[in-house]
Amino acid sequence: MTEPLKTTVLISGGGSNLQALIDARDSGRLNVDITHVISNVADAGGLDRAERAGISSSVLPHGDFDSRDAFDRALALLIAASAPDLVVLAGFMRIIGAPVLEPFQGRLINLHPSLLPLYRGTETYRRAIESGDRQHGASIHFVTAQLDGGPVISQVTIPIETQDSPDTLAARLSPEEHALIVATVELFTRHRVECADDVVLVDGLTLVQPLQLQADGRLDP
């Protein structure tokens, strides 16, 4: 059996996607070693989830730094301390800058609640509903200097219902996000995915369209 994939998870909130990774690890689906959880918010609920799972955690409040660059430099050092193979941004509400991007290029992935390239940034649920879209979803992409603009690895899609509000749409998407992040990290544990020159390769082949989450929780083209 191959060595577990050393993984660091960055959070800012409740950590439900972190919990999905923990549960998949504990069930034996994911061959990961979640070595470190980092939050920029001291009272983030995900820190409690890490503690219950016996995972080391750190708090790095961005407000303690006089510039974004200073925060990023400190964050890069904190991430590097556990020498991760993969860094997962799971609800981490900070823009990542060059001090983090450069040393971890190709090892940083982010979960974003939209069908990228649609609706980069925030308030994606409201924007999709107000635009009259018939579907919404979530994407996982490699992190680059462009906000939510890195190469997309995988997506999950759900319909927008007539009565949906941003809150109800977010609630229905949440369990699908959990399944998506587990399935995508599983690709990394099997060393099936990489990023080269801003192109996603799966099993050595260029990914033309994002992988789609299927009903059985697996990813297919």
Please list the active-site residues.
112
Q: Report yes or no: 7 and 189 within 8 Å, Cβ to Cβ.
A: no
Question: Which residue bears the tokens 């390239």?
Answer: 117
The closest alpha carbon to 10, from 51, 48, 60, belongs to 60
The closest alpha carbon to 147, from 200, 92, 67, 66, belongs to 92
Q: Report yes or no: 30 and 85 within 8 Å, Cβ to Cβ.
A: no
The closest alpha carbon to 148, from 124, 125, 128, 120, belongs to 120
Q: How far apart are CA 131 and CA 19, in angstroms?
A: 32
3-state secondary structure of 76: helix
DSSP state of 151: P
The closest alpha carbon to 93, from 69, 116, 110, 76, belongs to 110
163, amino acid identity: Q
